[in-house]
Amino acid sequence: MDKSQDFIKAKELGKKELAELPKIIKLSLDKQNRRLVFDLTNSVTLIVPADLLQGLQNASENDLTAVEFWDEGLMVYWKNLDVAFQTSSLLLGIFGTKRWLSEINSRNGKQTPRKNGKLIKSVA
């Protein structure tokens, strides 16, 4: 098999795998609880408090709902806030940088991992 056939085969495989990934098809805001409601192509609904996502704290309701879906829903972009998240990251509970997640966990009194992998109780 020559390189051009390998490339075509790899591209087809990538296209197939990409089609199977869950993608965001709709985002709505639960205004009463300030939670983002993500509806996905795999029939899953993900609900996340808006203030857990880095860059969305203190955002207005209008800003929280002014979004674009990039790459067919593999990413969501809050255009007024210049904040973007990958759908896969949201599904994994990755709502910002490691430092951000550590700060959030610390505020909530949850355990955060050390560099050596051992868990310690955060002191708020």
Question: Domain-by-domain residue ranges, the chain?
Answer: 23-93, 96-124
pTM of the model: 0.75
122 near 112, Cβ under 8 Å? yes
Amino acid at 46: L
Note the CATH number of domain 23-93: 3.30.2020.40
C-alpha 108 chain-centroid distance: 20
What pLDDT tens digit does each residue of the chain (124 aa) get? 577 888 888 878 777 777 789 999 999 999 999 999 999 999 999 999 999 999 999 999 999 999 999 999 999 999 999 999 999 999 999 999 999 888 888 877 765 554 444 544 433 3
